[in-house]
Structure 1
Amino acid sequence: MPIWEMLSHAQHAALRVSRAHDGERQFAQIVADEFIQAAPYYAILFTKHPETGAFYAGVVMGLEPGRNLMAVKGALPDYRPADLERQGFYITDGQLVVDREHGVFAEPDGQLLFDMNGEAALPLKRIQQALHVLQSGIPETDALIERFLAHRLLEPIDVTMSFDDGEHLTLEGLYTISLDALHALPDAAVLDLFRRGDLQLAYAQAGSIRHLRTLGRIRNNRLADIG
């Protein structure tokens, strides 16, 4: 069971947070405001919540559960999604709480959350910013996806890869923007998407799926290194 504690300097002055846990994350949720930052590094795709069936957006960082192919020595070297930045921290009733059992607190080389004066250190400031991004961004992203769905722009994407060791991997339940459907929209609908900023995000998402090939190449190269 998680151990939830309201974050405070008095109780958590010695608490350290590590990025090494990133290496275990295959997928991370992102919000619309992160699309442009994430697209140069990761494949952005849509999937459904297993419980509600509602769509949400995320970045694919690995091809197998528990394995992040983009991590270097366990941590991401490039853009770090807010969902990873805030690991182990949540907002409950307007208060910042910490799950002491989360893996981000298990590494001895983690960074302190508070400085010598008891003020928020840089890691904690990044966490606070990430929580703000998610808190405000999730409703906005839900609305964006609803607009995409209203125009029937989301379609399933087949992700099946074969590797030098003979193994085949398939990622299921993923969706992308259909550029064919987008280009077939009436001018008025396209203009509305443009003015909302949705058109830029749609192209950023569609273009980002090229990074799936990068993941396949990384996995193959590591097989060769092992061999």
Structure 2
Amino acid sequence: MPIWEMLNRQDHGSLRVSRKSDAQRHFAQIVPAEFLQAAPYYAILFTKHPDTGAFYAGVVMGLEPDENLLVVDDTLPDYRPADLERRGFFTTPDGIAIDRDDPVFADPAGQTLFGIDGEPALALRRVQQALHTLEVGLSESDALIARLLSHRLLEPIDVKMEFDDGRSLRLDGLYTISLDALHALPDEVALDLFRSGDLQLAYAQTGSVRHLRTLGRIRNARL
């Protein structure tokens, strides 16, 4: 059980946050506002929460747990999902809390949270933005998924990869938007999806699935 501390510059003025722990994240949740930013770099897919069975969207960054194939020199592609940016930080009614035991705080060479003037530094401002993105976006994500399910647009995706070392990997529990089902919708429904922005998100998600092949190529090249 994490022990939370309320973030403040008096107690945490020298605290640093690092991105090195991204290397152990193979999947990160995203919300609809992130789809267009994430799609050029990551495969966006849907999965179910293991406890509730509820769908949520996320980006695939590795093919096995604790593996991020996209991290190079502790850095991800141009877009870093809000779920990674806010790791170790939580929103409470009283402000921002932190889990001091989270690995993001373990690197003494990380970025400072507060400037010498005591104001939030760039790293903390990014965290604040990420927390806001998730706070607003989680309900939007639930609403989007409810609309997709109401039109029966989500379907399981079969992902199996073969590698030069003879191993094979199968990714289970992932879902995508069905283009066949999408294109079969009545015109008035498709128009509603277009006007709401859902259609743009659907094409961004389905187009991003191609990045799974990129992950396969990276893993094969590292063998």
TM-score tier, shorter chain, comes to over 0.9
By how many angstroms is 1:3 displaced?
2.2
The yes-or-no answer on 1:215 pairing with 2:215 is yes
Cα distance per residue 1:23-60 (max 9 Å; x no partner): 11000000000000000000000000011110000000
Corresponding residue for 1:128?
128
Asked if the contact 1:21/1:75 (under 8 Å) is kept, the reply is no
- Alpha carbons 2:41, 2:77 under 8 Å: kept: no
Contact preservation (8 Å) 1:43, 1:210: yes
What is the TM-score normalised by the length of structure 1?
0.97
TM-superposition CA deviations, 1:118-172 (whole Å, max 9, x none): 1000000000000000000000011001000000000000011110001111111
Counterpart code for 2:209: I
Structure 2 residue 163 is the aligned partner of structure 1 residue 147: no
Q: Secondary structure at the match of 1:182?
A: helix
SS at the partner of 2:222?
A: helix
CA distance in 2, matches of 1:95, 1:174: 35
2:18 maps to a residue whose letter is S
User: Following the alignment from structure 1 to structure 2, what is the Cα–Cα distance between the partners of residues 154 and 189?
Assistant: 16
The corresponding residue for 1:37 is 37
Structure 2 CA distance for aligned equivalents of residues 135 and 161 of structure 1:
36
Q: CA deviation at 1:93?
A: 2.1
Query: In 2 relative to 1, CA 94–140 (structure 1 residues): closer, same or farther, beyond 3 Å?
Result: farther
TM-score, structure 2 length as denominator?
A: 0.99
Q: For residue 79 of structure 1, give the secondary structure of its aligned residue in structure 2.
A: coil
Name the SS for the 1:117 alignment partner. Answer: coil
SS at match of 2:80: coil
Q: In the alignment, what sits opposite 2:173?
A: 173
User: Cα deviations across residues 174-201 of structure 1 (Å, max 9, x unaligned)?
Assistant: 0000000000000000000000000000
- How far the C-alpha of 1:79 sits from its partner, in A, is 0.6
Is 2:178 the partner of 1:194?
no
State the secondary structure of the residue aligned to 1:68. coil
1:101 maps to 2:136: no
* Residue of structure 2 equivalent to 1:138: 138
Alpha-carbon offset, residue 74 of structure 1: 2.9
Gaps of 5+ in 1: none
Offset, 1:94: 4.3
Unaligned 5+ residue runs, structure 2? none
Identical-pair percentage? 70
Q: How many residues align?
A: 223
Once the two structures are TM-superposed, the CA of residue 78 in structure 1 deviates from its matched residue by 1.9
SS at match of 2:204: helix
Partner of 1:163: 163
Distance 2:94 2:12 in 1: 19
Greater mean alpha carbon deviation, residues 57-66 or residues 77-86: 77-86
Could you tell me how far apart the structure 1 residues matched to 2:59 and 2:132 are? 19
